Structure 1
């Protein structure tokens, strides 16, 4: 009787065929089958990097899902990070600053007698790889081999070992963490780097940190900033990389855990103080100026770039070997100067940050106090206090102040150049920011005013379902009716318009802002709604209903009457600051035209009849 089987069972045959089958991978993937892995030596440290070996992390990188090698719905390969960037990120992850700031990394390197550290440890613990999904060891090894001397010398080796027998028949080999093997990396100066890092401190690195602003758009990534700083420094010392750490400050709108994005500025830590002094001297922190960008490509501006360097510092001698022979570096310097690239030390950057935060908090406190004060002042008092001024006295003073303001506006208009010259002047001289006004309303209205003062109203208690068209009709009718009244005819200002420029209303709100043409329209609306309170019964009510009774009980039953309040001071500055300059300039022009027309009728009180006749001639 024969001792061996003459046939192979069907189930075992299929299993052996499946075990010996080689799976198809995308181009570039190197995965050895289980049978070939078993025949390899059990442990070979420092083996040839070109030999085929089992690399467990690559199966997950090349588009495999945890469920296995499925068809059709395989996840696309994450190629968001180029191959050349791996070497730069690993160099930053193993820099002296990283060893000083991360004790776990330093202890892991010290635990190895040869100074090697697994790439998988860097991928899992380094902050530079925190937002990179499925980093590839294969691409990292290729990038490390292609590193230039200015990035820093790194050494890499591959570990080849047979996996445990329990892992031979597992389907998800790429997700098994207990499989040995992979790549390890170390710095070429690993012998003395730990001792050198131990002698540094926080103050040591703070003095070597600089702020870079207006970085060119093509370099607004961490590897790009590394290349940009390396080219700008043009370091000739290749023993250590010049850049040790790069931080992208978070934006105030970023949420915790969001991927940091470069918005044109970054904090870069250098290793040598000579590089810090050089970059601060060559690219100083100056006020941002926007020179006209020359026509032509950047490559055509090489000669202009050298002249820019000579204009900034005539006494500075430029090494021809470092600058003149490298056209790429020259083009980058020209582009950086056009974009206004500048640097600042970390100490001064912290001072400016504290100053800005204090200024921001002061503005918020002032706005909050102004809102509370204006709200308390808007509540009318029913009792007349002893020694207080009556409303008629306030109106009389308001008329006198308005007359003085109109005369000053008329004097400014007479001294103004012709319309064509005035337009050219406006193009050359932009409007100052609204914060330059003192907000008291005493600032004279001129052609260079940032906005028309006393031309803004805040309206409360409008119907939430109304719209801009209905509100404009409602307030325009009020202005027209008041202008037709003989007593208010002198206040109508600019009889060719209703005086309402814009209704700033958001649907669903019970309040809005009104922009009027002149301060006279401002006071006219405030006085009218204070004297004749009306309510808006529905969203399409463009006429308003008169309030039957002024008692609080009737107001609660019928609804709150529309309240109109003049906006002045800091609140007025903050509102106009959000309005585009083109709209503010047009509002100033309309206010000037209305003020000049009013001034022509109010120069002398005795010439009222003559002013009326002049206005009629304008209509015809």
Structure 2
């Protein structure tokens, strides 16, 4: 009797080699071979940002699941309901059909409004938000799904709006029955303002609306067992932000709390002027971060007063900067006090030729202040130049003005100009001089000699003549507030280097003077 299935010997291959042929089924058909694994394509980007951007990219980071639940809690907080008349009206309309539907709002209603609208990306679905609520806020928010059958007429014209509004998820607060008679509904604006705390130096990990809420809630829970919930987060806008710019956390925020006692304990634990103490191993993570980054708080009333004082001071400072003359003494007075020192001369051909005869004393004016290594910036070393040719460049400006310095003191081997702060196409620039004496001499020289830059590449200049189309150069020594405002915009590293250069040059000049004095004394 023959066996129903004949034994067919097969070649035994080495382990690790796979058989690519599919095994035939009972019907004789072959099973489809497995599809090859497709690796995701990763686009590389260089430093200049070249390369194709991947699809579905967003500028905002994907929020954590706990952040999603926090945003919904903020959207349905006591303060949000008190502040938003549209939200109150929507909640009142839900009570028409009885307790079964009372308090339930479509989740899409909240998603299309702040704070969820500003924080969510297109990749986040309502199902993800519902999952986060069930995981992190089940005690505070009820969730249900509402199924609605679409009419037959709409099957052929199924719009995106119908898909969004037909059924979906609905949410409501678990204490919805207490909303009508809640005490917070009768609070005034001033009473809510008393519950607002300004916090500063927020750790970078929490610099988002839900992050600040969770961070503040964690700090309050360590101070009070019956601490209330966070009601609202406000990110003060920057003065350069446009009306449609999304608010961004810059390390500070205004936090609205539930109770006055919450504000008191938070202000006492994290005062404005005193540090909250050192780190310890038994501290919670949120408290460690607060101590490490120097968290401090201020009441809303005190913050408003300081903000008003700052705006007043800013307006006064701008007005003084525009209207005041920053130089303590005019250069005419300085020249009048130094009549024994003759100014440089011109020979009629060019205004920047070497002046005077051999042995004639150089034109020098003493600086008014000294620069030390502890100075915030080089003092009296900044000059503002006007009436340059609009087609000039940095190299031409440096050569033109260096000729003037060389004509004043031909024996100096130092480059008097440290840096030319110039933007192409402008008719003015700032000069950072290597010493206060160079700045004073340069300004005094151009007050005595009316020099014109005839064209953009004119690095010699010529004496101004009556009827000239081009105006003579004007130089001003920047002092006082003008000097402060300029150096505030210069990076700290550059300021330190400029201070070290000026202070080192002054020390070198003093050393040379001392050596020369000793030589004269020894020869005598």
* TM-score normalised by length of structure 1: 0.62
Residue aligning to 1:589: 503
Residue aligning to 1:182: 168
Q: CA deviation at 1:222?
A: 1.3
Q: CA deviation at 1:353?
A: 0.9
Select the residue among 404, 407, 410 that pairs with 1:478.
Answer: 404
Select the residue among 328, 350, 354 that pairs with 2:304.
Answer: 350
Partners of 2:406 and 2:85 in 1: how far apart?
A: 77
**1:365 pairs with 2:347:** no
Deviation string, structure 1 residues 415-463 (Cα, Å, up to 9, x no partner):
xxxxxxxxxxxxxxxxxxxxxxxxxx74454443333433222222222
Partners of 2:246 and 2:149 in 1: how far apart?
A: 38
Select the residue among 365, 373, 388 that pairs with 1:462.
Answer: 388
* 3-state SS in 2 of match to 1:194: coil
* 3-state SS in 1 of match to 2:311: helix
Taking the TM superposition and a 5 Å limit, the aligned residue runs for 1:40-51 are none
Gaps of 5+ in 1: 1-72, 292-303, 308-323, 379-388, 407-440, 485-491, 615-620
**1:112 pairs with 2:94:** yes
The answer to whether the 8 A contact 1:235-1:242 is kept is: no
Gaps of 5+ in 2: 1-53, 96-101, 343-362
**1:523 pairs with 2:440:** yes
Select the residue among 236, 243, 263 that pairs with 1:256.
Answer: 243
The answer to whether the 8 A contact 2:279-2:292 is kept is: no
Partners of 1:96 and 1:178 in 2: how far apart?
A: 27
Deviation string, structure 1 residues 167-204 (Cα, Å, up to 9, x no partner):
123343x4326953222211111111221132222122
Partners of 2:165 and 2:116 in 1: how far apart?
A: 25
Partners of 1:458 and 1:477 in 2: how far apart?
A: 17
Indicate how the Cα distance of structure 1 residues 452 and 238 shifts in structure 2: closer, same or farther if over 3 A, else same. Answer: closer
Residue aligning to 2:291: 337
Taking the TM superposition and a 5 Å limit, the aligned residue runs for 1:56-455 are 80-113=62-95, 114-130=102-118, 132=120, 134=122, 136-148=125-137, 153-172=140-159, 174-176=160-162, 180-196=166-182, 197-234=184-221, 242-286=229-273, 305-306=279-280, 324=282, 330-370=284-324, 393-396=336-339, 442-455=368-381
Indicate how the Cα distance of structure 1 residues 335 and 75 shifts in structure 2: closer, same or farther if over 3 A, else same. Answer: closer
Partners of 1:251 and 1:396 in 2: how far apart?
A: 53
Partners of 1:594 and 1:500 in 2: how far apart?
A: 17
Partners of 1:451 and 1:161 in 2: how far apart?
A: 71
Partners of 1:126 and 1:569 in 2: how far apart?
A: 46
Bigger Cα displacement from structure 2, 446-455 vs 96-105: 446-455
The answer to whether the 8 A contact 1:535-1:561 is kept is: yes
* TM-score normalised by length of structure 2: 0.73
* 3-state SS in 1 of match to 2:280: helix
* 3-state SS in 2 of match to 1:253: coil
Indicate how the Cα distance of structure 1 residues 105 and 176 shifts in structure 2: closer, same or farther if over 3 A, else same. Answer: same
Q: CA deviation at 1:98?
A: 0.8
Partners of 1:453 and 1:74 in 2: how far apart?
A: 54
Partners of 2:271 and 2:340 in 1: how far apart?
A: 54
Q: CA deviation at 1:499?
A: 2.3
The answer to whether the 8 A contact 2:382-2:430 is kept is: yes
Q: CA deviation at 1:232?
A: 1.3
* 3-state SS in 2 of match to 1:565: strand
Residue aligning to 1:532: 449
Residue aligning to 1:510: 427
Deviation string, structure 1 residues 499-549 (Cα, Å, up to 9, x no partner):
2222222221112222223333233323333333332223222222333x3
Partners of 1:74 and 1:162 in 2: how far apart?
A: 34
The answer to whether the 8 A contact 2:231-2:258 is kept is: yes
Partners of 2:234 and 2:477 in 1: how far apart?
A: 47
Residue aligning to 1:546: 463
The answer to whether the 8 A contact 1:460-1:563 is kept is: yes
Partners of 1:253 and 1:483 in 2: how far apart?
A: 47
Q: CA deviation at 1:206?
A: 1.0
* 3-state SS in 1 of match to 2:279: helix
Indicate how the Cα distance of structure 1 residues 594 and 92 shifts in structure 2: closer, same or farther if over 3 A, else same. Answer: same
Partners of 1:479 and 1:404 in 2: how far apart?
A: 11
Residue aligning to 2:15: none
Q: CA deviation at 1:566?
A: 2.4
Q: CA deviation at 1:305?
A: 2.4
